[in-house]
Amino acid sequence: MKIESVDFFYCSMPEVLDIGDGSQDALLVRIRAGGLEGWGECEASPLTSIASYVCPMSHSACKPLKYSLEGKSLNDVEDIYSISRDAQQNSFDLLQANHTLSGIDIALWDLLGKKLGEPVYRLLGYKKSYPKLPYASQLFGDTPEQTFAKALSARDSGFRAIKFGWGPFGKKDVITDAAHLEAARQGAGDDIFLMIDAGTVWNDNVEAAQQRLAALKKINAFWLEEPFTNLSAGAYHELSQSQPSIALAGGEGCNSFEQANLMLKYAGLTFIQIDAGRIGGITVAKNVADVAESQNISFVNHTFTSHLALSASLQPYAGIEKDNICEYPVELKPLARELTLTNILPDENGFILTPEKPGLGMEVNLAILKKYLQNVEIRVNGKEIYYTPSV
Amino acid sequence: MKIESVDFFYCSMPEVLDIGDGSQDALLVRIRAGGLEGWGECEASPLTSIASYVCPMSHSACKPLKYSLEGKSLNDVEDIYSISRDAQQNSFDLLQANHTLSGIDIALWDLLGKKLGEPVYRLLGYKKSYPKLPYASQLFGDTPEQTFAKALSARDSGFRAIKFGWGPFGKKDVITDAAHLEAARQGAGDDIFLMIDAGTVWNDNVEAAQQRLAALKKINAFWLEEPFTNLSAGAYHELSQSQPSIALAGGEGCNSFEQANLMLKYAGLTFIQIDAGRIGGITVAKNVADVAESQNISFVNHTFTSHLALSASLQPYAGIEKDNICEYPVELKPLARELTLTNILPDENGFILTPEKPGLGMEVNLAILKKYLQNVEIRVNGKEIYYTPSV
């Protein structure tokens, strides 16, 4: 079948707050071919990504994404690999390209899965998928009391793993941070996996991170995530060698295979966290999962948006049995929470499963999409080169 | 003084060809404050970069660039460092941001230089600037005969260093490539520095690059540039250890300090090539120059656009005496060639000098800017959030 259309839908909550919550807007991609449609989601600035799809060509290595999609065939997995390679080649000087390609690639896999009647993970070569233990991923409270209450609530909801991140953590003194960590552990209880996400707060300041290691050890933190700016591999490595020893997680900011590969090679990570909605899609994320597996580094999804994105982020490592932890956002804004008609829910054992239905196995709620839709129009020299298509 | 306006001007040749020539369009940035104006240029997809300046906020780490600029003070270099840090912090999940920030940062330095009556390199801490030997940077011919003629012509124009890149090189067999290399050397003569740019053609295929080393050695290539995709540090390093030994150059694709830092640390480079119009501006490029100097790796500008961009790219290493090679585009399209009222020309010894006038020392030709201007209009929900300002 031939790709007939690639459509973007920019959705947003009426009010976007200045907080580290990526579920406040969404860029959905719909690709139609052969009477079917596939859906994907970019974890990206929606307007900027739309511009990267329709912009005029600047030169041979700075082409709009549409150049690599329009009129292409989609019949088997090789077609997706070929489009992914083409897009990266044709647009490698267009910085935004990989964020945009991510949603496109996800939609292509969804579409192909529907055509072939297979869940995406099987098309990726996995024979079966393994259950993942979801960690309730949420922001620190403004005060230790709030953090305590949030931990308690997550535990009461049945989660066996909880992650706190961002908010005030790392921004004030070590004592304040220790109070939040203690509160999180007290609220969660001793039998819960507890992850801590510093949200790159220390840039590349190794000493600032080292000062928190004792408090992290005391609460038996399962990992410390993103202490430093993405790609600060030297700082990561130094921290990985520091005492007391805490497993490091990172990589969500990686926007290409090469970036993730560098982090795998040099950063001393125990966990590599990949967002299929950023790194170039499921195709690139699967490549990272393969390399991580060969180096005995655990692959974990990064997902802070809808369950469409969650399904996409699970596919690349669905079949790796030992990598059994997954990020599971629990504070989604209504837009992200309601964007799919069904959500991926923990089973009675507290595990989640990658959907078995064809493609990503998720259905977009068009009413919700319409409710939050932002109409975009771009003109160059008076000529309309983009307008939001009809739902 | 306070920043009063940040304006973008997207210029383009009437026809943009599918060739590796980055001078076919341009995104100019004009910043006004205190009765003065500074100019910068982004080496970027213009429309996509404009969108990244005006887009609505997605979350706390995905803010439009304007958030870090509007209403800010600009009185000394610390103000620029502060804006640069803020922008990288506020927009680090907005992939296009660093390309856009690059032109903004360049314009800020130009503006501050004009206010303080100093060339930018002095504001960066250099006491004086040193002459640079420009290499005529051009594309390979389609045939070895054309490559020969281009080399001869560059030599006859007085250049003592010539670089060929892109075009057919690396895409066919080793014999064809050797023929181009021989033709380039024959046309240039034996006393000319001859650089070869593979334009990332071998992705991360080390063997493909190794197969060309003998031919490169035979023509005494001064360096082999970008054999691999940017950030493929492992492949670079392996090639750097291969025989016959050829100095490697790379880094033009780096979009952040962290990326360049990784290349400096792991890629086995002899030359790091930085485009101030991509990496986040003069501020970030100077940071890279400092680290490169400490590691005894030579800094070289990457410039394939206007002489405004050329001046900007010279500033970060103007004061490093030993780093005396500079890229000098010789096949600029009229837009880029005429965009400044004066150009930076080689002196009687064949060297070029960083301008001594305040700021970047270049004046934008507004008539040319108007001639090639592309009017852009962006609306979200019917509200105009961007239109091309008046020149």
Q: According to the model, what pLDDT value does residue B255 have?
A: 95
Distance CA A256, CA A231 (A): 11
SS3 B391: coil
The DSSP output letter for B363 is -
Contacts of B289 (CB under 8 A, 6+ apart): B274, B299, B316, B317, B320, B323
Angle at A264 between CA A262 and CA A266, to 5 degrees: 65
Residue B188: the pLDDT is: 96
pLDDT for residue B329: 87
Give chain A positions within 8 Å (CB) of B374. 56, 380-381
- The tokens describing B197, both together, are 């740019």
Q: How many CA atoms lie within 13 A of A164 on its CB side?
A: 34
A303 at B interface, C-beta within 8 A: no
Q: Given a cut of 90, is residue B371 above it in pLDDT?
A: yes
Q: Do B378 and A382 touch (CB under 8 A)?
A: no
Structure tokens at A42: 């970019």
Question: Two tokens at A324?
Answer: 């059994």
What's the average model confidence in pLDDT over B107-135?
98
Q: How confident is residue A38, by pLDDT bands cut at 50, 70 and 90? A: very high
Q: Above 90 in pLDDT, residue A206?
A: yes
Looking at residue A13, its amino acid is: M
Please report residues of B whose CB lies closer than 8 A to that of A16: 56-59
- State the amino acid at position B350 in one-letter form: G
Choose the mutation target among B16, B21, B47, B228 for the interface with A, i.e. most A CBs under 10 Å. Answer: B47
- CB within 8 Å: A93 and B56: no
The pair of three-digit structure tokens given for residue B128, joined into one six-digit string: 């004086």
Contact A229 B62 (CB under 8 A): no
Rg of the Cα trace of chain B?
21
Q: What is the pLDDT of residues B314-343, one digit of tens each?
A: 999 999 999 999 999 888 999 999 999 999
* Separation of alpha carbons A198 and A206, rounded Å: 13
> For the residues A222-251, what does the mean pLDDT come to?
97
Residue with the larger pLDDT of the pair B237 and A330: B237
Pairwise CA distance, residues A115 & B143, whole Å: 45
pLDDT higher than threshold 90 for residue A308: yes
| Three-class HEC string of chain A | CEEEEEEEEEEECCCCCCCCCCCCEEEEEEEEECCEEEEEEECCCHHHHHHHHHCCCCECCECCHHHHCCCCECCCHHHHHHHHHHHHHHCCCCCCHHHHHHHHHHHHHHHHHHHHCCEHHHHCCCCCCCCEEEEEEEECCCCHHHHHHHHHHHHHCCCCEEEEECCCCCCCCHHHHHHHHHHHHHHHCCCCEEEEECCCCCCCCHHHHHCCHHHHHHCCCCEEECCCCCCCHHHHHHHHCCCCCCCEEECCCCCCHHHHHHHHHHCCCCEEEECCCCCCCHHHHHHHHHHHHHCCCEEEECCCCCHHHHHHHHHHHCCCCCCCEEEEECCCCHHHHHCECCCCCCCCCCCECCCCCCECCCCECHHHHHHHEECEEEEECCEEEEECCCC
Q: Could you tell me which residues come within 8 angstroms of residue A143 by beta carbon, excluding any fewer than 6 positions away?
A: none
- pLDDT tier at A313 (50, 70, 90 boundaries)? very high
Place A249 in a pLDDT band, splitting at 50, 70 and 90. very high
Report d(CA B44, CA B55) in Å as an integer: 17
ipTM value: 0.95
**Residue A25 touches chain B, beta carbons under 8 Å:** yes
Tokens 């009477």: give the residue. Answer: A35
Helix residue ranges per DSSP H, chain B:
46-54, 77-90, 97-116, 120-123, 144-156, 174-188, 206-210, 213-218, 233-240, 257-266, 282-294, 307-314, 334-338, 366-372
Q: Are A222 and A194 in contact (CB under 8 A)?
A: yes
**Distance from C-alpha of A20 to C-alpha of A170, rounded to nearest angstrom:** 14
Does A47 contact B253 at a Cβ distance shorter than 8 Å?
no
Instruction: Say if B284 is an interface residue toward chain A (CB within 8 Å).
Output: no
Backbone angles phi, psi at A2, to 5 degrees: -105, 145
Cβ neighbourhood burial of B293 (10 Å; 0-12, 13-18, 19+): middle
- Band (A20; pLDDT cuts 50, 70, 90): confident
- What is the mean predicted confidence (pLDDT) over A123-135? 97
> For the whole model, what pTM was predicted?
0.96
Taking residues A41-60, what's their average pLDDT? 98
Inter-CA distances, B155 with B141, B148, B161, B246, B307, Å: 15, 11, 8, 23, 21
Q: How confident is the model at residue A330 (pLDDT cuts 50, 70, 90)?
A: confident
The per-residue pLDDT for B20 is: 85
Residues in B closer than 8 angstroms to A99, CB to CB, are: 95
Q: How far is B77 from chain A (nearest CA, A)?
A: 21
Cis preceding-peptide flag for A64 (omega within 30 of 0): no
pLDDT the model gives residue A329: 87
Per-residue pLDDT, B283: 98
pLDDT bin (cut points 50, 70, 90) of residue B185 is very high
Angle between helices A257-266 and A282-294 (to 10 degrees): 20
Place of tokens 């024959």: B186
Is the confidence at residue B166, as pLDDT, over 90?
no
Chain A environment of B27 (Cβ under 8 Å): none
Q: In which band, very low, low, confident or very high, does the pLDDT at A161 lie, cut at 50, 70 and 90?
A: very high
The token pair that represents B335 in the structure block: 């837009």
CB atoms within 10 A of CB B2: 11
The average pLDDT across A88-117 equals: 97
Cβ of A367 under 8 Å from any chain B Cβ? no
pLDDT of residue B228: 96
- A50 pLDDT band, cuts 50/70/90, is very high
Residue B79 has pLDDT above 90, yes or no: yes
**How many CB pairs lie under 8 A apart between chains A and B?**
206
Q: What is the mean pLDDT of chain B?
A: 97
pLDDT of residue A354: 97
